[in-house]
């Protein structure tokens, strides 16, 4: 289930706030897709989610740069891969592909996002904290 919970907290307020918005929005989108088949109403939400994710990734990458986090390149790649998947959903939505297919992808991206927050993001957070950030 795509839902925000306290276990996802990393302890940097700005990042936690952004993560919460991202996960909540992905969850809303997931729920909307299951109940509303009017795909045109979902497009603006997808776009909003993509913009939010792009802004969040930028915030993180800037922080990692600032603190000289050695895993930045790998982390950036992961952000790029999530973004690609999200863009794929948007394109499929444009071509009006069957909704179950899109839901599957959204599920995948949502889980990926959560796993990214739970695992990958913790690596740079630990580094920042050790560096006095």
Q: Does 121 bind Fe ion (CB under 5 A)?
A: yes
Q: Which residue has the closest beta carbon to Fe ion?
A: 121
Residue 72 CB coordination number (10 Å)? 17
Q: How far is residue 130's CA from residue 117's CA, in Å, rounded to a whole number? A: 19
Given the complex with Fe ion, which of 63 and 89 has the nearer CB atom?
Answer: 63
- Asked if 60 is part of the footprint of Fe ion (rule: CB under 5 A), the reply reads yes
Site track for Fe ion across 20-59, x = CB under 5 A: ----------------------------------------
Nearer to Fe ion, 10 or 103 (CB): 10
């Amino acid at each position: 289930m795509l839902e925000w919970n306290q276990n996802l907290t990393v302890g940097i307020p700005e990042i936690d706030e952004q993560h919460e918005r991202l996960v909540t929005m992905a969850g809303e989108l997931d729920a909307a897709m299951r109940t509303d088949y009017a795909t045109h109403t979902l497009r603006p939400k997808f776009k909003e989610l993509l913009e939010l994710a792009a802004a969040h990734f930028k915030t993180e990458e800037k922080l990692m740069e600032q603190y000289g986090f050695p895993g930045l390149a790998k982390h950036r790649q992961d952000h790029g891969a999530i973004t690609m998947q999200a863009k794929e959903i948007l394109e499929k939505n444009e071509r009006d592909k069957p909704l179950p297919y899109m839901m599957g992808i959204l599920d995948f991206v949502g889980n990926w996002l959560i796993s990214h927050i739970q695992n990958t993001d913790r690596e740079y957070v630990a580094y920042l904290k050790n560096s006095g950030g």
